[in-house]
Structure 1
Amino acid sequence: MEPKRNKNYIAGIYLRLSRDDERAGESLSIENQKILVTKYVKEKGWEIKDVYVDDGYSGTNFDRPGVKRLLDDAKEGEINTIVVKDLSRFGRNYILVGQYIDYVFPSFGIRFIAIEDRIDTASKDTSAMDMMPIMNVFNEWHSANTSKKIRAVKYSCAQAGKYLASKAPYGYVRKDDKNHTPIIDEEAAQVVRRIFERRAKGESAYRIALDLQADGISSPAVYAERKFGKKVTGEGHNFWSPAAVRGILAQQLYVGDLVQQRVKHISYKNKKVVKVPKEEQVIIPNNHEPIISRELWNKVKELEATASTGKITKERVTPALSGIMRCSTCGATMEYHKTVGGRRKKHLVTYECGLRNRYGADKCTKHYINGDVIHKIILDDIRAKAKIVAEDEEGIRKRFIRRNAMLAEQSDKETAKAIKMKRARIAALDDLMSKAYEDKLLGKMPEELCMKFIDRYLAEQENLRKEVSGFEAELRNAKDMRENIDEFMSRIKKYLDVTVITREMMLELFDKIIIGEKEPPNGAPRLIQLVYKVDIDSVL
């Protein structure tokens, strides 16, 4: 569309204040900007078309409602002059500011004025116009430096134990002290304990949410509205959902630890939020009164880390072995089936390879097994091991620790070496990004190419951090495995006289159970391998 051309100056006044600028004092306030710019325009005798305001927006990008409306009106010919208090009010991204002032505005016949910087595009030969590129670079540097200082202050506050979130999670309220310490809200805390206790028994988030809703317990959003007057937004928040339950189960705050700095923006210009690796987060153990015990927390985390969550039956229960048994041939989960047959209408539970069951007999060999048969095998093995442990607990402990120390030494060294190499590459990528950015500022590299390099480096860093986290988890798991023999023996002794398999029992004791072919070739015996969470067989 061809923009309208105006002989008289029709001005659009643009005002901006970011959260960071608020700290600079009254001189940058929206009201003072408006007074200064309006006075300037009226003294010139120009018409004011509109005042465009972005209050609380950063100048590092142009994704702001006020500036978008300003630019739309400029392109449509509704205004032919843009007036701001100073160049930084229009923006702090020197590339984008330069593009608008040098290319976009001239193409639409727009005059741009930054009053306090003495910049006026109608006067090209002034010293202020000559200095404008340097001002733009300085404004961007100021934004980067301010962002860096704010991040440093937040990090320092987090290390000092100051709770930075605007509100506490369900089960806590913020104390009115300098650190905003979380204190227990007992009414909601009872529900939090119930959620953790039921999850520790192997119940799914879906099952827990259904029961909470059925029992008439208010969802966190409804509870907050009822107790604190915080309005519920969206219909879905009126009900307990599996997502809400999982969110509570993920909160380390409930065990008394203050965990902060869990996410960050990619840069002061790119507001995309990314997760921070666990080792870079600020964690203060035992910072406040816990709602749940650390033992219960660890038990739930162990369950969450298991390979299976299990599937819910039509009766809304998760079978004890659901998701734990695996086909030895293809690795698929053994699927649970229950049928009713015979004169007595007896319930028959069976398991079959999930791949074969869903996609046909040609996809895998037959691994069918009767539920009663596998239950007996498991119960007999648990009781036998529990008896041995009860009779020789100290001897088993010593043999286990000695054997695992020998096996772990070499593995730990290799893992630590891999972590060191990947962290070195992460640091090198930081240097490469800094170099690319400096080259862009000095004009040695186009912005598009710079951003391309930085995006590639960031993607590589993210992958490396995930790999490092994985390796560190391996080290922690190996250490836990060596140190938790006492806990495992305590668990298995509970089941010395067990007669019925439960979901909690399976998740406490087993990593997986491998089911071999029903009819192995050459008359070989059928494979049934019980893989415990601790390699107890090696020392019995």
Structure 2
Amino acid sequence: MPALSGMLYCADCGAKLYQVRGKGWSHDKEYFVCASYRKQKGKCTSHQIKNIQVEEILLREIRKVTAFAKDHEDKFVDLVLKKKTIELNQVLRSQKKELDDSKDRIATLDSIVQNLYEDNLEGKISDQRFEKMAKAYDEEELSLQKRIAELEETITKLQEEELNVESFLKLVRKYTDIKELDPEIIRTFVDKIYVEQSEKVLGTNLKKQTIWIYWNLIGKIDI
């Protein structure tokens, strides 16, 4: 299996990047392109990037992150922990708000259905109308209850999740001096890579392109 196969994703649409190889091509000609763009022009932009460009960046970044982790373990752990805490708090805030909103909506629905029931008893709305409206509200409430269960499970997992910094450091200690890449090293350290569309540098004929590396065990980290 090629070293980067299945690891690159489009930063815009989230689709995997498709490996393009021609018969007789040398490695420096091989490139990746967004699968959505390849299947349907206009659905996304190409996000085209050469294999060797990704490999050069990966080697540099793997060497940088492992060197920093080796030489400054305490700082590295502190950096990852702070980043994870910020991310966790952001997700928890969002999830808890949706959870509270869903519970409030259920309380509102219960009140609406109770009023409908009373209106039906008093003859203000027909039995047929009552049944139709009550059914719709019941379905919405069931959907909300299901979502609440999902949110509560997600929040519990996030709060209990152990940070894997020490596990990452064990990998770092295993590889003392990385001179070149191979599939084992890439898959040991890298979870996935998101590739942005290239864009022209203002006032030049040059282009720049950003990729985001998500490391195994610790996610995206800036050294």
**TM-score, with length taken from structure 1:** 0.32
Corresponding residue of 1:536: 221
**Deviation readout 1:382-419 (Å, 9 max, x if unpaired):** 23312322332233223433455467557645643442
RMSD value, Cα: 4.3
8 Å CA contact retained: 1:488, 1:509 = no
What secondary structure does 1:340 align onto?
coil
Corresponding residue of 2:6: 322
8 Å CA contact retained: 1:412, 1:475 = yes
Corresponding residue of 1:115: none
Aligned-partner Cα distance in 2 for 1:479–1:400: 16
Corresponding residue of 1:426: 106
Q: Which has the higher contact order (CA 8 A, sep 6+)?
A: 2
| One of 327, 336, 340 as aligned partner of 2:19 | 336
In the alignment, does 2:133 pair up with 1:458?
Answer: no
Deviation at 1:376, TM superposition (A): 3.3
Q: Name the structure where helix makes up a greater proportion of residues.
A: 2
Q: How does 1:105-184 map to 2 (within 5 A)?
A: none
Deviation at 1:351, TM superposition (A): 0.7
8 Å CA contact retained: 2:7, 2:191 = no
8 Å CA contact retained: 2:198, 2:210 = no
In the alignment, does 2:36 pair up with 1:351?
Answer: no
Aligned-partner Cα distance in 2 for 1:472–1:504: 35
After superposition, the Cα gap between the structure-2 partners of 1:510 and 1:415, relative to the gap in structure 1 and judged at 3 Å, is: same
Deviation at 1:461, TM superposition (A): 2.2
**Deviation readout 1:316-365 (Å, 9 max, x if unpaired):** x697442632156x6654221222216xx8796421233443344x7766
| One of 179, 187, 204 as aligned partner of 1:505 | 187
Aligned-partner Cα distance in 2 for 1:487–1:382: 16
8 Å CA contact retained: 2:17, 2:34 = yes
8 Å CA contact retained: 1:437, 1:450 = yes
After superposition, the Cα gap between the structure-2 partners of 1:320 and 1:486, relative to the gap in structure 1 and judged at 3 Å, is: same
8 Å CA contact retained: 2:102, 2:144 = yes
Corresponding residue of 2:63: 383
8 Å CA contact retained: 2:3, 2:183 = no
Aligned-partner Cα distance in 2 for 1:466–1:367: 38
8 Å CA contact retained: 1:379, 1:500 = no
Corresponding residue of 1:372: 52
Deviation at 1:374, TM superposition (A): 1.4
8 Å CA contact retained: 1:334, 1:353 = yes
8 Å CA contact retained: 1:326, 1:513 = yes
8 Å CA contact retained: 1:382, 1:495 = no
Runs of 5+ unmatched residues, structure 2? none
Deviation at 1:446, TM superposition (A): 4.1
Amino acid at match of 1:517: S
8 Å CA contact retained: 1:339, 1:349 = yes
What secondary structure does 2:136 align onto?
helix
8 Å CA contact retained: 2:48, 2:197 = no
Runs of 5+ unmatched residues, structure 1? 1-316
What secondary structure does 1:535 align onto?
coil
Corresponding residue of 1:393: 73
8 Å CA contact retained: 1:350, 1:370 = yes
Amino acid at match of 1:448: Q
8 Å CA contact retained: 1:509, 1:532 = yes
After superposition, the Cα gap between the structure-2 partners of 1:492 and 1:454, relative to the gap in structure 1 and judged at 3 Å, is: farther
Deviation at 1:381, TM superposition (A): 1.6
Corresponding residue of 2:197: 516
8 Å CA contact retained: 1:365, 1:517 = no
Amino acid at match of 2:209: L
8 Å CA contact retained: 2:7, 2:192 = no
Give the % identical residues: 18
What is the total number of aligned residue pairs between the two structures?
Answer: 216
Aligned-partner Cα distance in 2 for 1:363–1:421: 34
What secondary structure does 1:448 align onto?
helix
8 Å CA contact retained: 1:351, 1:370 = yes
Q: How does 1:15-26 map to 2 (within 5 A)?
A: none
